Amino acid sequence: MIVEEWQWHTAVLSPLAYWFLMVAGLALLIVAAALNAIILRKAGHSGWWAVLVLFPLLYFIGVWIFAWSRWPRAETSPPIPGQPTTAA
């Protein structure tokens, strides 16, 4: 008697559930990339940086870089009333 190797995706999930999870995960990635593109465009950066969502390590590094870099929109926008201005 030949014993096949146990595979969790065939033993636990039906094929329909497996494809549903794949489509739902892809939909979540697309929504996350679209929301990131909107935020990046509002900040003055290119929306194409949102592609980093597909690569988690690069995304983490990109967010860290954007957090500590100068934002183009902040340099061109008028000062907020009541906020102290910094001399550059």
> What are the residues whose beta carbons fall under 8 Å from the beta carbon of 40, sequence distance 6 or more?
46, 47, 49, 50, 66
Q: Where are the domains of the chain?
A: 12-69
pLDDT tens by residue, 54-74: 888 988 998 888 888 877 766
pLDDT tens by residue, 15-45: 788 889 899 999 998 998 899 899 888 878 8
In the chain, count H helices and then E strands: 4, 0
pLDDT of 1 above 60: no
pTM: 0.59
User: What's residue 55's pLDDT?
Assistant: 86
